[in-house]
C-alpha cells in the first residue's frame, strides 16, 4: 500500500469513483484522503464560506473505521471511505438543521435523515454540512456568510444548494447532497461548473428534510462528473418506510450501464423554447451538445414543449403556499428575525387562498400529463440550465428586484420540471464567452435516471468541460480555467 501523501490539488480533484477505487485497492487510505480534504477546507473555505460545520473529528474516526473494514475485506461499495458533504436542510443526529435561518440554530436533530443514513451505511465519510439560502429560497440571511463562487467572487453561486456547488467545485468534497424545489441543484451546478441530478420526485426519500414546498422538493447528488453523480444516486435512491411518498419502484444499477453506447437514443429539442431570445453563447452550447450526440449515434429531432406563463404562475402559487405551511409554527412569532426576502415570500404564501391553490394543482396535473406524453415521442430533452449567462451579484440584485422577471429569466428552464416531477441532469457545457461555467440540462421521463446518466456520461467522454477547474489562491479567488486545463495546476487531463 502506498501511503505517500498525494499533492493537495491532485488528491482533491480525483473523481469520487476514482478515489473510492484507490481506497479499495489500498493505494490511498480513507484517513489520508480525509486529512487532505480537511487541510484544504481549512486553507480555502474561510474565503469560500461553503461549510456551515466541518466535522473533522468524526470524519477522521469514520475514515479509520473504513480503512479497517476495507483491510478486512468488508467493502461496502464505491463510496466506502470517500468524503462527501450534505446541505443544511438534512437532519444529522446531534447537529442543528438550520435551513439557513438564525431562528433554527437550536433545531438539533434527534436522528439522521434517510439520505444521511444511507450514505453512512454505504461507508461514505460525511465531512460537514453546507450552507444554504434562508429557507432554501433565493437569498442568504443577511447576518450569515454567503458562499462565494470559486470561479469569480463577483458572480452568483446559484440558489439554495450554493454551498454544495461551491464545495464540490473547489475540491473540498468529492460529492455533495443538494435539494431542488425550482432549480436549487441544477442552478448551483451550472453556476459552479459541476454536475447535478434532480431525480424523479419520490426516487429519493425526503424523510428528515426541512421542506421548502413538500410536493415540489427533490433531493439529489452533486459531483464533478456524471459517473460520480450516478454512484451517489445508487446509494441514496429507493423506497423508505419513513416516507410513504418515496417510490417503491426497483432501484436501477446506475453504474452498470453507464458506459453503454447511446446509438438510437432520441433527444428532442424545442428551438423556440430553448434558444429564442436566449444569448447566443447558450445556443452554441446547446448545439455543440446536439452535434456530439449525433456523432455518438443518437438522434436529435424537433419537439414542442407544452409550456406557457400559466405553468410558471401555477408553480409559484404552489411553492409559496407550501412554503408558508412549512413555516406555519415559527413564522408569525419570529417574522422580524427572518431576512426581508424570506419574510416577504412567506407572507405572500400566507395570502394565497384555497381556490388559487386548487387551480394551481389542476394546472400542474394537466402539465405533468402533457410532459408524460412528450416522452412518448422522444427519450430525452435538451434545454439550457439558465436563461442567461452567469450573472454577477450586482446583475442578480437588479434581476431579483422584479421577482416575476427573475422567475422567467432564472427559473424558466428548471421549475417546470419540478412541477412535472421528472428527472433532470445539469452538466457543464461549452463555457460562456467570459470563460465562466455554463450548464446544460438533459431531461427524461419519470424513472429514466439511468438513461440520463448514460447520455451525460457519453457527452463527458468526448468533451472536457467538466474537468475545468477554478483557479484558487490562498486568500484570493481568481478567474481562470477557460481552456479546458486545470488552472490550479496549469495542466490538462
The larger pLDDT score, comparing residue 58 to residue 409, is at: 58
Check: CB of residue 227 under 8 Å from CB of residue 457: yes
Instruction: Report the predicted TM-score, pTM, of the whole model to 2 decimal places.
Output: 0.94
Check: CB of residue 116 under 8 Å from CB of residue 86: yes
Tell me, yes or no, if 434 is annotated catalytic.
no
- The set of long-range contacts for 291-295, using a CB threshold of 8 Å and a minimum separation of 24, is 292/459, 292/462, 292/463, 293/262, 293/265, 293/267, 293/382, 293/455, 293/458, 293/459, 295/462
Rounded Cα–Cα distance for residues 222 and 428 (Å): 12
Cell 442543528 found at = 96
**How does DSSP classify residue 304?**
-
pLDDT band for position 251 (50/70/90)?
A: confident
The larger pLDDT score, comparing residue 407 to residue 12, is at: 12
Cell of 6: 498525494
Check: CB of residue 235 under 8 Å from CB of residue 77: yes
pLDDT band for position 233 (50/70/90)?
A: very high
Q: Mean pLDDT throughout 334-350? A: 97
Residue 260, pLDDT above cutoff 70: yes
pLDDT band for position 1 (50/70/90)?
A: very low
Residue 5, pLDDT above cutoff 60: no
| Closest by CA position to 203, among listed 242, 244, 234, 246 | 246
Predicted pLDDT of residue 309: 83
| Closest by CA position to 477, among listed 40, 39, 153 | 153
Predicted pLDDT of residue 489: 28
Cell 410558471 found at = 312
Rounded Cα–Cα distance for residues 336 and 386 (Å): 33
Q: Mean pLDDT throughout 271-297? A: 94
Q: Domain residues of the chain, as ranges?
A: 8-478
Predicted pLDDT of residue 299: 98
Rounded Cα–Cα distance for residues 360 and 344 (Å): 20
User: Is residue 38 within a helix (H) or strand (E), and if so which, with residue range?
Assistant: helix 30-48
Rounded Cα–Cα distance for residues 253 and 235 (Å): 10
Rounded Cα–Cα distance for residues 423 and 460 (Å): 19
Predicted pLDDT of residue 198: 98
**Homologous superfamily of 8-478 in CATH?**
Amidase signature (AS) domain (3.90.1300.10)
Check: CB of residue 86 under 8 Å from CB of residue 176: yes
pLDDT band for position 252 (50/70/90)?
A: confident
Vertex 232: Cα angle to 130 and 118 (nearest 5): 80
Predicted pLDDT of residue 473: 62
Rounded Cα–Cα distance for residues 183 and 410 (Å): 9
Catalytic residue (one of 50, 184, 225, 415): 184
Residue 359, pLDDT above cutoff 80: yes
Rounded Cα–Cα distance for residues 417 and 426 (Å): 12
Cell 459541476 found at = 194
Cell of 215: 410536493
Q: Mean pLDDT throughout 472-489? A: 40
**What is the β-pairing status of strands 439-444 and 424-428?**
antiparallel
Catalytic residue (one of 101, 113, 152, 160): 160
Question: What is the percent of the chain where pLDDT is above 70?
Answer: 94
Cell 456524471 found at = 226
Check: CB of residue 405 under 8 Å from CB of residue 418: no
Rounded Cα–Cα distance for residues 51 and 62 (Å): 19
Check: CB of residue 152 under 8 Å from CB of residue 17: no
Residue 48, pLDDT above cutoff 90: yes
Rounded Cα–Cα distance for residues 79 and 223 (Å): 12
Strand partners, 53: 129
Query: Reduced to 3 DSSP states, what percent helix, strand and coil does the chain have, rounded to the nearest 5?
Result: 40, 15, 45
Arithmetic mean of pLDDT over the chain: 93
Tell me, yes or no, if 87 is annotated catalytic.
yes
Predicted pLDDT of residue 383: 97
Check: CB of residue 197 under 8 Å from CB of residue 334: no
Tell me, yes or no, if 160 is annotated catalytic.
yes
Catalytic residue (one of 50, 87, 113, 225): 87
Cell 483557479 found at = 471
| Closest by CA position to 113, among listed 175, 202, 205, 249 | 205
Cell of 396: 442578480
Q: Mean pLDDT throughout 33-53? A: 97
Amino acid at each position: 500500500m502506498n501511503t505517500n501523501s498525494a499533492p493537495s490539488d491532485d488528491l482533491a480533484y480525483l473523481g469520487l469513483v476514482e478515489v473510492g477505487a484507490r481506497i479499495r485497492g489500498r493505494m490511498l487510505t480513507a484517513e489520508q484522503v480525509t486529512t487532505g480534504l480537511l487541510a484544504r477546507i481549512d486553507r480555502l473555505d474561510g474565503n469560500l464560506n461553503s461549510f456551515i460545520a466541518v466535522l473533522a473529528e468524526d470524519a477522521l474516526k469514520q475514515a479509520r473505521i473504513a480503512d479497517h473494514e476495507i483491510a478486512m475485506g468488508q467493502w461496502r461499495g464505491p463510496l466506502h471511505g470517500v468524503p462527501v458533504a450534505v446541505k443544511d436542510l438534512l437532519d444529522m443526529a446531534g447537529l442543528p438543521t438550520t435551513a439557513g435561518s438564525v431562528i433554527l440554530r437550536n433545531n438539533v436533530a434527534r436522528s439522521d435523515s434517510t439520505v444521511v443514513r444511507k450514505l453512512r451505511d454505504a461507508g461514505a465519510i460525511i465531512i460537514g454540512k453546507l450552507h444554504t439560502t434562508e429557507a432554501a429560497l433565493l437569498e442568504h440571511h443577511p447576518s450569515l456568510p454567503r458562499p462565494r463562487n470559486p470561479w469569480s467572487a463577483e458572480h452568483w453561486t446559484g440558489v439554495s444548494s450554493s454551498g454544495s456547488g461551491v464545495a464540490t467545485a473547489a475540491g473540498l468534497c468529492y460529492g455533495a447532497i443538494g435539494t431542488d424545489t425550482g432549480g436549487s441543484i441544477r442552478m448551483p451546478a451550472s453556476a459552479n461548473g459541476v454536475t447535478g441530478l434532480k431525480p424523479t420526485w419520490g426516487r429519493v426519500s425526503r424523510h428528515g428534510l426541512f421542506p421548502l414546498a413538500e410536493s415540489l422538493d427533490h433531493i439529489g447528488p452533486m459531483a464533478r462528473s456524471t459517473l460520480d453523480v450516478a454512484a451517489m444516486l445508487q446509494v441514496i435512491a429507493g423506497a423508505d418506510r419513513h416516507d410513504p411518498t418515496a417510490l417503491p419502484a426497483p432501484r436501477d444499477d446506475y453504474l452498470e450501464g453507464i458506459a453503454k453506447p447511446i446509438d438510437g437514443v432520441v433527444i428532442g429539442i424545442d428551438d423556440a423554447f430553448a434558444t429564442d431570445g436566449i444569448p447566443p453563447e447558450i445556443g452554441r452550447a446547446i448545439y455543440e451538445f446536439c452535434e456530439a450526440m449525433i456523432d455518438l449515434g443518437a438522434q436529435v429531432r424537433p419537439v414542442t414543449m407544452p409550456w406557457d406563463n400559466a405553468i410558471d404562475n401555477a408553480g409559484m402559487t404552489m411553492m409559496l403556499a407550501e412554503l408558508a405551511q412549512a413555516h406555519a409554527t415559527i413564522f408569525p412569532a419570529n417574522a422580524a428575525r427572518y431576512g426581508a426576502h424570506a419574510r416577504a415570500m412567506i407572507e405572500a404564501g400566507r395570502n394565497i387562498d384555497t381556490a388559487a391553490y386548487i387551480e394551481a394543482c389542476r394546472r400542474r396535473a394537466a402539465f405533468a400529463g402533457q410532459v408524460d406524453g412528450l416522452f412518448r415521442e422522444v427519450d430525452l430533452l435538451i434545454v439550457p440550465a439558465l436563461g442567461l449567462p452567469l450573472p454577477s451579484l450586482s446583475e442578480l440584485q437588479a434581476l431579483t428586484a422584479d421577482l416575476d422577471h427573475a422567475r422567467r429569466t432564472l427559473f424558466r428552464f428548471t421549475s417546470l420540471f419540478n412541477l412535472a416531477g421528472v428527472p433532470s441532469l445539469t452538466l457543464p457545457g461549452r463555457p460562456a464567452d467570459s470563460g465562466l461555467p455554463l450548464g446544460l440540462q438533459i431531461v427524461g421521463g419519470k424513472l429514466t435516471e439511468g438513461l440520463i446518466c448514460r447520455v451525460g456520461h457519453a457527452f463527458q467522454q468526448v468533451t472536457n468541460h467538466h474537468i475545468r477547474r477554478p483557479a484558487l489562491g490562498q486568500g484570493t479567488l481568481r478567474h481562470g480555467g477557460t481552456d479546458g486545463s486545470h488552472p490550479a495546476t496549469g495542466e490538462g487531463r
